[in-house]
Amino acid sequence: MTQKLRFAIIGAGRIGYVHAGSVFDTPNTEIVYIVDTFKEAAEKVAAAFGGKVSSDPEAVIASGEIDAVIIGSPTPTHIPLINAAIKAGVHVLCEKPIDLDIKNVDSNRAAINAAKTNVTIGFNRRQDPEFKEVKKRVSAGEIGNVEQVVITSRDPGPAPQGYIAVSGGIFRDMTIHDFDMARNFIPEIVEVTAFGANAFCDYIKEEGDFDSVSVLLKGSRNEIVTIINSRHSSYGYDQRIEVFGDKGMLQIQNFTPTTVKLFNKESTAAGEPYLDFFLERYAASYRNELKLFIQGIQEGKNLGSTYDDGRAALILADAALESARTGKAVRVSF
Amino acid sequence: MTQKLRFAIIGAGRIGYVHAGSVFDTPNTEIVYIVDTFKEAAEKVAAAFGGKVSSDPEAVIASGEIDAVIIGSPTPTHIPLINAAIKAGVHVLCEKPIDLDIKNVDSNRAAINAAKTNVTIGFNRRQDPEFKEVKKRVSAGEIGNVEQVVITSRDPGPAPQGYIAVSGGIFRDMTIHDFDMARNFIPEIVEVTAFGANAFCDYIKEEGDFDSVSVLLKGSRNEIVTIINSRHSSYGYDQRIEVFGDKGMLQIQNFTPTTVKLFNKESTAAGEPYLDFFLERYAASYRNELKLFIQGIQEGKNLGSTYDDGRAALILADAALESARTGKAVRVSF
Amino acid sequence: MTQKLRFAIIGAGRIGYVHAGSVFDTPNTEIVYIVDTFKEAAEKVAAAFGGKVSSDPEAVIASGEIDAVIIGSPTPTHIPLINAAIKAGVHVLCEKPIDLDIKNVDSNRAAINAAKTNVTIGFNRRQDPEFKEVKKRVSAGEIGNVEQVVITSRDPGPAPQGYIAVSGGIFRDMTIHDFDMARNFIPEIVEVTAFGANAFCDYIKEEGDFDSVSVLLKGSRNEIVTIINSRHSSYGYDQRIEVFGDKGMLQIQNFTPTTVKLFNKESTAAGEPYLDFFLERYAASYRNELKLFIQGIQEGKNLGSTYDDGRAALILADAALESARTGKAVRVSF
Amino acid sequence: MTQKLRFAIIGAGRIGYVHAGSVFDTPNTEIVYIVDTFKEAAEKVAAAFGGKVSSDPEAVIASGEIDAVIIGSPTPTHIPLINAAIKAGVHVLCEKPIDLDIKNVDSNRAAINAAKTNVTIGFNRRQDPEFKEVKKRVSAGEIGNVEQVVITSRDPGPAPQGYIAVSGGIFRDMTIHDFDMARNFIPEIVEVTAFGANAFCDYIKEEGDFDSVSVLLKGSRNEIVTIINSRHSSYGYDQRIEVFGDKGMLQIQNFTPTTVKLFNKESTAAGEPYLDFFLERYAASYRNELKLFIQGIQEGKNLGSTYDDGRAALILADAALESARTGKAVRVSF
């Protein structure tokens, strides 16, 4: 690629800032536009990493000035913007979830899967060095046949009520990452059961959502995946996985800012609280995701998560929600 | 107590051997009888720790020669022997489960709960120093309000087919300990859902039983308990708990024979495989259980797990089995 | 051995209490005498574990009523009592150090080494399951050729001034265990250098002793042993070893009362402070030491640490003290 | 600073490559020259990060085209190039050691300390986030009064014989980092004693150098520092520190590529071998060092390690060597 790859970043919130920074750090790329309906946000990102400011994503996509777009705007805009990009011959890296309504996802599926440009869905954790190492070693047979996967995911604290109100609920907003990770290890999931609870947060309850959930997934080859979520965690962002096979188990550990441990009369080997949240914890993962996206453009094929990966995670989220509400295990197919 | 407390040990298998050893090590106690239909087993235990050998538990209980009986014989004998002991004025420490059929448990409930002697059910793990420490610190408010409990329990390897056949199934035989531990932290459980799988063991499947399960329990105050079980574990006996509250989390770790760690070109900080099984892992717990049983006799009240604790765990096991079979969450009451 | 092995315990302090308890728990042994010039101490031990009370160790040794004696009385009594026991045909387990003066140790050496009864010196740590496991694995070649040994040993807090005054100094009283452990891994030590400091304790300084020391030992095959000591440790009894070879390293970890770890907004994975002191930390080690002592009596040879082991450790302690005072490395031979 | 800071990198070996990369990643800087007598090495670095290639460092320094120079060429060139840079009004970041001969260091001291431009010596570890965190917490009083410091530093494998031959020996080449770290915590060191050994490497012995050493340092306030070094380590780069105070202890841990741990029938919680060497382990440290160097230029004062820091570390290295050779503790003053 002799020419620079020209990017627009749509959505100048926290995640847009991270993506813009990653593009800025990548050789042979250029940020042409930062787009946000909230102009000041766009200007802040542009000041840091360059690019013109716009509040009109459709116009930017159609401008002919960009080769690729990173979509981090609100969920309802995802499918329209993907479609616009496809039409304009622009490659897409779109944040999860694709949409909160599986019907919308399904009705756009054929067209998007037939697109000539790459459409990657941002399940960045698959690109995290920790999870990748586990995946690599599992694939190499180090623990034999996978029988159980246990995923623990707890956020440091709940998102504000306004966010919760439009989030689609914990399963579609938060657990969706864990559903994708479950599929990373157990591609064929056939059944879902879930419990949801309102353990601590009144405004999440007001929104008809849960603050704590556990989900069980059954795989087609007798695997069981267990997911444990909470919308808060006093000790920081808790992101663990344990993959259990007949020959061994692999685990990842949480991230502390440094490895320093304190020993005194109260306690021993006490580490620091965990990194506060996903932008810090998954910094490498976001960079790898972008790298893979660019490499995919160069190779003419999507190397990251697909639209169908995004759809599958949403199907699992819907099934978990149904199960948590009805008390019945829900069979799923993709 | 100036007189020695006179014991009979009924059932001279592995667990009977452990109980006999604990009694032997306890001052002011005496083993009067070791009882087993398989005479050689009884003789072996008697040789190690003393006592006369008998194959007739009812006669021993009625002999007037004993003050207390430890029942570790097959499950179907539990209720008849408890009743015989009550009738004879003999205190009872009975291994779990009380019975595999909740109807039998219920029909004997009133009489056994009205007994003048102590009837303790052997949920020894509640007396394990590790679990007790967690319980103590949770009760002291160290982690605030308990929201989630995660229990992992994996046996080193499956019991033989003959045992599986009469075990009542994984939920009533193995998970039952975890149900009791769940109740240790979340006394009021209201709903159960479970997935069971046959991941690795043909003969367990032949017996219509699962080798791997995950269970979710819902508490009356919005707690969620997650239990993860497997009938095998390549790295040894895996016994963990994690209690998560709004102010913190407490975890216990597995037991290695020593703390030695190896660092070399293959790996770093590698510990030894975990202790092989429950008699080693829960050695302190069995001793504490006996100590509490004896103290209860001295104080004239049961200080250990009650018949109703045994009943509650069986109700949860039955609910989990029903859920795993029907795909429906099952509401429970006690 | 059809008859019970008859013991006297000389010295009814903390360590005497532990030894008496170990004998009490050992089948086919009998405590015949508890001896202490402070009668109440002897009575307390006798009340717990049996035995007659005496304040005359020489008479007890000569009484013909005992087969073995455990000497835990003050250091100056050690050699006279060992000699008395040898003369009386009584086996000896004597606490370290043999004596504070190497001349006394040397002048009694020939006679004691020629004794017909077993004379074991109480370097109990060699019998600790942790150190034994390291030794076993080193001997099996798991880490190749041993090049470096690092021993960290910090007491929870300093002994009282009265004890320090007669202790012989930190090298002969505390580091002596580490010298013996160094010899456990590097039998041929040829040179010693040491630094001593008065970092925190005025009364230790008043007694002309150090509260903190580091010692380097050179082995005949180019090994270097590093010992780090402090008379206090805010986080509990700190007892570590790290054996480094060309193919790997083995480490032992400290002991917490339980494995419980706390995670909260201040810290993560915080363990409990370490066990407070040697009687708790080395409980298994004392039991193993006694077991080996008894086995040695049965086999007619000393299986534990020898008089010459005790002498070698004292030679190293003297060399370290000389080095710390003179600033010169001291060559040693045994 | 509106203009870009113009750099020359002198020495295009591994460390030069790292420095060039750090400059390349830093906004408002420009690499003007890459200098190496071995032209291909310079070209390789220039190809990656830009800059003209030269083999004449003096000419580059005098060219008027650069504001700052990073000196990573062989040790004998350090002082001449520092002097040239000072004369040319160019800021200097010079790798350790300043020189192998303390006489040269001393004779240039006054002039270099009087320089108008900044002269920073590259003791990068002081800028490592791990060590900095320990330092920050020690300074905040978290562990009270510092009494003992234990530094373990083992390289993955020995440098080649050619390097060893001109390295000045292990104390001046490798331990020198640990001497600087010791001074980071205990600024006033008054005495040194050391043992050196040839445990495994014939060609190091041939060069009259040691492959394994332990060093003790005494501080003016009764602190003892213990340093343990080896030129090899089967399990990877071993870089630990333990700072022990009267109120607590702080430790840092080694770095694994990921946090993944394996559990199987051979071992439990086995981590990956440690990062292979300093460029990986201290990546953040090198970046921080450069950042501080640039900030110092902007603020008009040296914010990093000084020439006198470099001199002090060399004095300690010389003292350790003398002690290891003579068997005498060596008093030092600075």
- Examine the domain organization and report whether A184 and A319 are in the same domain: yes
Of residues D154, D224, D228, nearest to C197 (C-beta) = D224
- Examine the domain organization and report whether A86 and A165 are in the same domain: no
Residue of A nearest to C266 (CA): A273
Q: Hunting for tokens 């790898």 — which residue is that?
A: A288
A191-195, C2-6, C288-292: lowest mean pLDDT where? C2-6
Cα separation, C254 vs C240, in Å, equals: 7
User: At D206, is the secondary structure helix, strand, or coil?
Assistant: helix
Q: What percent of chain C has pLDDT over 90?
A: 96
The model's confidence at residue C1, banded by pLDDT at 50, 70 and 90, is very low
Is residue B106 in a domain?
no
| Total tally of structural domains belonging to chain A | 2
Of residues A250, A253, A258, nearest to D262 (C-beta) = A250
C130 interaction partners in chain B (CB closer than 8 Å): 258-260
User: C-alpha B141: how far from its chain's center?
Assistant: 27
Q: Do B249 and C264 touch (CB under 8 A)?
A: yes
Kindly report the average pLDDT of chain B as a whole number. Answer: 96
Please give the structure tokens belonging to residue D138. Answer: 């020690």
Closest CA to B182 of B113, B130, B242, B120: B242
- Answering whether pTM is above 0.80, one says yes
Mutation target to probe the C interface, by most C beta carbons within 10 A, among B49, B259, B263 is B259
Residue of D nearest to B259 (CA): D268
Cα separation, D258 vs B64, in Å, equals: 65
Of residues A130, A254, A263, nearest to D248 (C-beta) = A263
Is residue A10 in a domain?
yes
Quick one: average pLDDT of A123-145? Answer: 97
Q: What is the 3-state secondary structure (H, E, C) of chain A?
A: CCCCEEEEEECCCHHHHHHHHHHHCCCCEEEEEEECCCHHHHHHHHHHHCCEEECCHHHHHHCCCCCEEEECCCHHHHHHHHHHHHHHCCEEEEECCCCCCHHHHHHHHHHHHCCCCCEEEECHHHHCHHHHHHHHHHHCCCCCCEEEEEEEEECCCCCCHHHHHHCCCHHHHCHHHHHHHHHHHCCCEEEEEEEEECCCCHHHHHCCCCCEEEEEEEECCCCEEEEEEECCCCCCCEEEEEEEECCEEEECCCCCCCCCEEEECCCECEECCCCCCHHHHCHHHHHHHHHHHHHHHHHCCCCCECHHHHHHHHHHHHHHHHHHHHCECEECCC
Of residues A129, A251, A262, nearest to D250 (C-beta) = A262
Phi-psi region of A60 (alpha: psi -120 to 50; beta: other; left: phi over 0): alpha
B265 interaction partners in chain C (CB closer than 8 Å): 247-248
Residue of D nearest to C198 (CA): D222
- Examine the domain organization and report whether C265 and C295 are in the same domain: no
Q: What is the 3-state secondary structure (H, E, C) of C252-309?
A: CCCCCCCCCEEEECCCECEECCCCCCHHHHCHHHHHHHHHHHHHHHHHCCCCCECHHH
Q: What is the 3-state secondary structure (H, E, C) of B228-291?
A: EEECCCCCCCEEEEEEEECCEEEECCCCCCCCCEEEECCCECEECCCCCCHHHHCHHHHHHHHH
User: By the CB < 8 Å criterion, does D268 face chain B?
Assistant: yes
Quick one: average pLDDT of B18-24? Answer: 93
Task: Give φ, ψ of A164 to 5 degrees.
Answer: -55, -40
pLDDT at position B27 is: 86
Per-state percent for chain C, helix, strand, coil, to nearest 5: 40, 25, 35
- Examine the domain organization and report whether C180 and C72 are in the same domain: no
User: By the CB < 8 Å criterion, does B267 face chain C?
Assistant: no
Quick one: average pLDDT of B184-204? Answer: 98
Give tens-digit pLDDT for C159-210.
999 999 999 999 999 999 999 999 999 999 999 999 999 999 999 999 999 9
Strands D248-251 and D238-245: antiparallel
Quick one: average pLDDT of B60-67? Answer: 97
Contact partners for chain D, using 3 or more CB pairs closer than 8 A, are A, B, C
Bridge partners (DSSP) of residue B249 are B244, C263
pLDDT at B1 exceeding the cut of 80? no
CATH number of domain containing D87: 3.40.50.720
Is residue B221 in a domain?
yes
Which of D 125-154 lie inside 8 A of A, CB atoms?
A: 129-130, 133-134, 137, 142-143
Is residue A112 in a domain?
no
Of residues D25, D259, D265, nearest to A253 (C-beta) = D259
Give tens-digit pLDDT for B286-325.
999 999 999 999 999 999 999 999 999 999 999 999 999 9
Is residue B195 in a domain?
yes
Is residue A120 in a domain?
no
Q: Which distant-in-sequence residues (6+ apart) come within 8 Å of B234 by Cβ?
A: A143, A144, A245, A246, A247, A248, A249, D263, D264, D265
- Examine the domain organization and report whether A83 and A204 are in the same domain: no
Closest CA to A334 of A171, A191, A154: A191
Domain boundary among A51, A80, A95: A95
Q: Do residues D105 and D311 touch, judged by C-beta distance below 8 A?
A: yes
Give tens-digit pLDDT for B210-241.
999 999 999 999 999 999 999 999 999 999 99
- Examine the domain organization and report whether C98 and C22 are in the same domain: yes
Q: Do C228 and D147 touch (CB under 8 A)?
A: no
- Examine the domain organization and report whether C267 and C301 are in the same domain: no
Give tens-digit pLDDT for A19-74.
999 999 888 999 999 999 999 999 999 999 999 999 999 999 999 999 999 999 99
B133 interaction partners in chain C (CB closer than 8 Å): 257-258, 260
DSSP calls for C215-246: EEEEETTS-EEEEEEES--TTS-EEEEEEEES
The radius of gyration of chain D's CA atoms, rounded to the nearest angstrom, is 20
Count the neighbouring beta carbons within 10 Å of the beta carbon of residue B5.
18
Task: Give φ, ψ of D24 to 5 degrees.
Answer: -55, -40
Please give the structure tokens belonging to residue C266. Answer: 């201040």
pLDDT at position A1 is: 42
Which of C 206-245 lie inside 8 A of B, CB atoms?
A: none
Is residue A55 in a domain?
yes
Give tens-digit pLDDT for C86-125.
999 999 999 999 999 999 999 999 999 999 999 999 999 9
Cα separation, C106 vs C313, in Å, equals: 13
Q: Do C262 and B129 touch (CB under 8 A)?
A: no
- Examine the domain organization and report whether C35 and C184 are in the same domain: no
Q: Do residues C302 and A298 touch, judged by C-beta distance below 8 A?
A: no
Cα separation, A16 vs C308, in Å, equals: 73
Give tens-digit pLDDT for C262-275.
999 999 999 999 99
Tell me the count of C-D CB pairs closer than 8 A.
125
- Residues for chain C: how many in total? 334
Q: Do D214 and C148 touch (CB under 8 A)?
A: yes
- Examine the domain organization and report whether D96 and D215 are in the same domain: no
pLDDT at position B57 is: 97
Torsion (CA) D16, D20, D21, D25 in degrees, nearest 10: 150
User: By the CB < 8 Å criterion, does B199 face chain A?
Assistant: yes
Q: Do C226 and D224 touch (CB under 8 A)?
A: no
Mutation target to probe the D interface, by most D beta carbons within 10 A, among C146, C202, C216, C326 is C216
- The edge-to-edge listing of strands for the beta sheet with A52-54 is A52-54, A29-35, A5-10, A68-71, A91-95, A119-122
The model's confidence at residue A276, banded by pLDDT at 50, 70 and 90, is confident
pLDDT at position C25 is: 87
- Examine the domain organization and report whether D151 and D256 are in the same domain: yes
pLDDT at C279 exceeding the cut of 90? no
Strands A212-219 and B119-122: unpaired
User: By the CB < 8 Å criterion, does B259 face chain A?
Assistant: no
Cα separation, B321 vs B194, in Å, equals: 7
Write down the ipTM of this complex. 0.95
Contact partners for chain A, using 3 or more CB pairs closer than 8 A, are B, C, D
- Name the minimum distance, in Å, from the CA of B148 to any CA of chain D: 25
pLDDT at A2 exceeding the cut of 70? no
Give tens-digit pLDDT for C23-73.
998 889 999 999 999 999 999 999 999 999 999 999 999 999 999 999 999
Please calculate the CA angle C97-C98-C102 and round it to the nearest 5 degrees. 100
Please give the structure tokens belonging to residue B251. Answer: 């975890």
CA atoms within 13 A on the CB side of A333: 0
- Examine the domain organization and report whether A74 and A149 are in the same domain: no
CATH number of domain containing A193: 3.30.360.10
Kindly report the average pLDDT of chain A as a whole number. Answer: 96
pLDDT at position A279 is: 85
Cα separation, B242 vs B134, in Å, equals: 9
Q: Do A212 and B197 touch (CB under 8 A)?
A: no
For chain A, the straight-line distance linking the first and the last C-alpha, in angstroms and rounded, comes to 37
Of residues C144, C191, C214, nearest to D216 (C-beta) = C214
Domain boundary among A46, A80, A95: A95
pLDDT at position D277 is: 84
Which of D 84-123 lie inside 8 A of A, CB atoms?
A: none
Please give the structure tokens belonging to residue C27. Answer: 């089948």
Closest CA to D228 of D239, D244, D243: D239
Cα separation, B80 vs B133, in Å, equals: 35
Q: Provide the domain limits for residue B216.
A: 126-284+313-331
Is residue A292 in a domain?
no
Q: Which distant-in-sequence residues (6+ apart) come within 8 Å of A271 by Cβ?
A: A256, A259, A260, A261, C267, C268, C269, C270
Cα separation, C292 vs C237, in Å, equals: 25
**DSSP single-letter state for residue C205:** H
D245 interaction partners in chain A (CB closer than 8 Å): none
Bridge partners (DSSP) of residue B33 are B8, B52
Q: Do residues C89 and C116 touch, judged by C-beta distance below 8 A?
A: yes
Residue C326: is it exposed, middle or buried by C-beta count within 10 angstroms (0-12/13-18/19+)?
Answer: exposed
Q: Do C197 and D223 touch (CB under 8 A)?
A: yes
Split chain D (334 residues) into runs of 10 and give each run's mean pLDDT: 85 93 92 96 95 97 97 96 98 96 97 97 95 98 98 97 96 97 97 98 98 98 98 98 98 97 97 90 94 96 96 98 98 96
Please state whether the peptide bond connecting residue D273 to the residue before it is cis, i.e. omega within 30 degrees of 0.
no
Quick one: average pLDDT of B134-139? Answer: 98
- Examine the domain organization and report whether C146 and C111 are in the same domain: no
Q: Do C271 and A272 touch (CB under 8 A)?
A: no
Q: Do residues C79 and C116 touch, judged by C-beta distance below 8 A?
A: no
Bridge partners (DSSP) of residue B251 are B242, C261
Task: Give φ, ψ of B35 to 5 degrees.
Answer: -120, 130
